[in-house]
Amino acid sequence: MLFKAVIYLLIIINININAYINNNKIESLSTEEQIKYYEQLIDKKNGKSFWYQVDENAERYKADASQVKEFGDFDFIIVGSGAAGSVLAKRLSEVPEWKILLIEAGDLPDESTRMPALGVANLASDYNWGFFSVPQKNGCQGYQGKRCNMARGRGVGGTTLINGAMLSRSNHKDLDQLNAIVEGWSYKDMLPYMLKFENHTKTRDDAPSNPDYHNTKGEMPSQFNSINNSRTHAFYKGCQQLGYNYTDYNSGGQVGCSPVQFYINNGRRVDAGSAFVLPIMDKPNFKLMTNSLAIKIKIDPASKIAEGVYFSYKNQIYYAGARKEVILSAGAIQSPQLLMLSGMGPKEHLDSVGIRTLFDLPVGKNLRDHHSMTFVAQHNQTDDNYKSPREDIEDYINGHGRLTSDQAIASVIWFPTKIQEDKTHPDTEYIIMPYFSTTTTINNTPRYTFASILAQVLGVDLRFPFMLGVFINLKTKSVGSVTLKSSSPYDYPLIDPNIFGNQDDLEHLYQTYLGVQEHFNTPAMKAIGAHMAKLSVSKCNKFNEKSRKYWYCILRHLAFPTYHPIGTCSMGTDPKKSVTDKDMKVHHFNNLRVCDASIFPFTHSNNPVVIIMAAAEKLADTIKQSYLYKA
């Protein structure tokens, strides 16, 4: 219920635009013409996303399996055009004699994906696969059917089309811990790759930007959020009153507070597809297949070679051969699904769905994610709290304002909880979105009819200004799984995040809440009348609202996986305990690799996009060295 209530609230400040639009044409219009254009789109398109029903399976791609058409041979076949696949496509296409095929189930980015504030609205569109978890035993108890939302991006750009667009790097401790498992992944090894694709601009004079830790010549823009008001000022001041620094969290020290760094340029989201794939569309050695679902990898078990990929396009099955390698970049849900459909996975599970096991590997067995909790805070500030849709559009045209950040995300604190032993290493991410406000906005949105739900669940008095916040446990211990529902590639996999399966995670998220509450108790936050609104869940109201029992109950009902799934094709040295090696090769293979979030065996203290893209940069170099620079 919380997820739906928040989604409906977020939609009210968003515009849903689903048609592909020539961006240059829009920006060549006069300001007044652009305003009218966006106003018309708001009026025409908002309802479509509001009533959109996400898919429950992949039947839209279903094809007659009895007829297979040849699609030709390629040197490298990449499955999935998300954060990793998009980078790999561009880097491998830099070698003119290599022929690259990129297979993507979704479509190209459009004008709606360019507007950061539409990230949440696009959850209700074809840009989201629409995955949900299996019913949970320990968490997501307040959600319909006790099923957690498991949003995953579908399109050229993957989840970078619909996520919060935050740029945050893995830190020293996370990567050095990873390097102890698979060498070559230390912070020293990976920092050059995390920098390579960045194009950083210090867009605010007050932003804590450390030039020693930024690149200004890459493809992916990195800019600071433009939201700057009484709430963000109090947020940073309160952070400093707790003893934390106002810092560039992408530099050597992560603990502290800052305006959020986004992959935006002049207020527009630049997703991975737009940054890396669209610029190479006309290259003669590159082929992009959109609206195409990879359904199976052709394997020769005797030679341990991935020979090619079967995929569905417009209800026809095609086969593309791989002269050199097949690389899966379909994400932590669908890369393991495709491996298992192709005969690589836990033998007992594959036997249960009627798939012959070619290689017994723990595919899908280490699903991990951060855990999040959303809350509402009220305050007494009214500066720029409400703007008309026209004013929001004017701001957006000029590259600033609430439409230039997803969910109006503005500010972040990374901090260690009291149970975190290493106080230089954060285990919590705490974000505020200070633009949520008043009944005026709600009443001006005809289709918005969920104010009572919001008030009941999040405990907010809609007569007063409020803002949204999220606190996140970054160091979770719960382990879930991805398994097959059947042998059909058109059935969605069974996703079990097992949220709070390890009870330590419940206590950890409670400690995270206590740290956030400590921030609200600072003089700076009290000066603006900021306080967390009481959450109202009927099964929890019997407990004292300040007690651990109350918060355990609240978290079991309303907390959720953070849409940062990892681990299902984990790297390691032992094929009994891992799926891929340090070079991202699937164990037993020389030409089948996985490069996406699924290769990381544990959660990092950051949003995962940067390290995923860095992994792709690392793999591109590894492949070039292997084929081009052999002795």
Which residues are documented as binding site? 159
Half-sphere exposure of 548 (CA within 13 A, CB side): 6
Contact predicate 441/13, CB 8 Å? yes
Tell me which residue has tokens 């019913």.
135
- Cα separation, 231 vs 26, in Å, equals 33
Which letter does DSSP use for residue 606 in this model?
S
β-strand partners of 412: 258, 431
Supply 485's token pair: 């529902």
- Please report, in range form, the residues annotated as the binding site for FAD: 159
H or E element, residue 23: helix 23-27
Single-letter code of the amino acid located at 278: L
Tell me which residue has tokens 């594959």.
350
- Cα separation, 188 vs 628, in Å, equals 25
Contact predicate 588/329, CB 8 Å? no
Sequence-ordered alpha helix ranges (H) in 108-171: 111-114
Neighbours of 23 (CB within 10 A): 14
- Cα separation, 250 vs 195, in Å, equals 10
Instruction: Determine the angle formed by the axes of helices 389-397 and 31-50, rounding to 10 degrees.
Output: 120
Task: Please spell the DSSP secondary structure of 504-543, one letter per residue.
Answer: HHHHHHHHHHHHHHHHHTSHHHHHTT-EEPPP--TTTTTS
- Cα separation, 152 vs 309, in Å, equals 22
- Cα separation, 421 vs 413, in Å, equals 18
**What are φ and ψ of residue 219, in 5° steps?**
-85, -25
Which letter does DSSP use for residue 219 in this model?
S
Strand segments, DSSP code E, in 96-179 are 100-103
Alpha carbon of 631 to those of 42, 618, 621: distances in Å?
59, 20, 16
Neighbours of 78 (CB within 10 A): 30
Spell out a b/e string for 168-194, using b for 16 or more CB atoms within 10 Å of the CB, else e: bbbbbbbbbbbbebbeebebebbbebb
Instruction: Determine the angle formed by the axes of helices 609-628 and 187-196, rounding to 10 degrees.
Output: 100
Classified as helix, coil or strand, 548 is: helix
Give the list of residues 6+ apart from residue 187 with CB closer than 8 angstroms, or none: 170, 171, 172, 175, 176
Q: What is the dihedral of CA 450, 455, 458, 462, to 10 degrees?
A: 100
Supply 561's token pair: 């996986």
Sequence-ordered alpha helix ranges (H) in 401-479: 439-443, 451-458
